[in-house]
């Protein structure tokens, strides 16, 4: 069983490194051959991963590494101009991102570990 998980996925972190509304884990992916920052957070017990690129401008969301949530832990927030995103979908919830959304990555949690699912255009950079 564990072998099948490894064939389809890249290990990102242990589950206990992600707490609801807490710091996110950053990682790098190759997207269409380009190195691109990404992150994973936990929200309402589920893990969610996105490219770390604001939909307003291609800026990383977190000024302080791993700080993706707003103060109330309700939204992901871009530190540059304050765009807010729904943590579970990446859709814009207000601000400079109106009508756009974060690029969501396929992530899964199994056996107390978090994995990025491999896809044709996105791969973890070791």
DSSP conformation class of 89: T
H/E element, 14: strand 9-14
Which of positions 59-118 make contact with ligand FES (CB under 6 A)?
59, 78, 80-83, 95-96
> Does residue 57 bind ligand FES (CB under 6 A)?
yes
How many residues of this chain bind ligand FES (CB under 6 A)?
11
- Residue pair 78/69 in contact (Cβ under 8 Å)? The answer is no
Residue 58 or 125: which CB sits closer to ligand FES?
58
Of the two residues 37 and 95, which places its CB atom closer to ligand FES in the complex? 95
Find the Cα–Cα–Cα–Cα dihedral 60, 99, 34, 120, rounded to 10°.
130
Helix, strand, or coil (residue 107): strand
| Min CB(114)–ligand FES separation in Å | 25
Q: Which residues contact ligand FES by CB under 6 A? A: 54, 56-57, 59, 78, 80-83, 95-96
């Amino acid at each position: 069983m564990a072998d099948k998980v490894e064939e389809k996925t890249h290990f990102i972190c242990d589950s206990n490194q992600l707490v609801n509304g807490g710091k996110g884990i950053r990682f790098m992916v190759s997207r269409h051959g380009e190195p691109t920052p990404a992150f994973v957070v936990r929200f309402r017990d589920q893990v969610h991963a996105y490219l770390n690129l604001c939909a307003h401008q291609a800026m990383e969301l977190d000024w302080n590494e791993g700080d993706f949530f707003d103060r109330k832990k309700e939204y992901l927030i871009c530190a540059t101009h304050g765009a807010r995103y729904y943590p579970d979908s990446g859709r814009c919830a207000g601000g400079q991102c109106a009508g756009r959304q974060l690029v969501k990555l396929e992530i899964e949690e199994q056996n107390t570990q978090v994995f990025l699912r491999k896809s044709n255009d996105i791969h973890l950079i070791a």
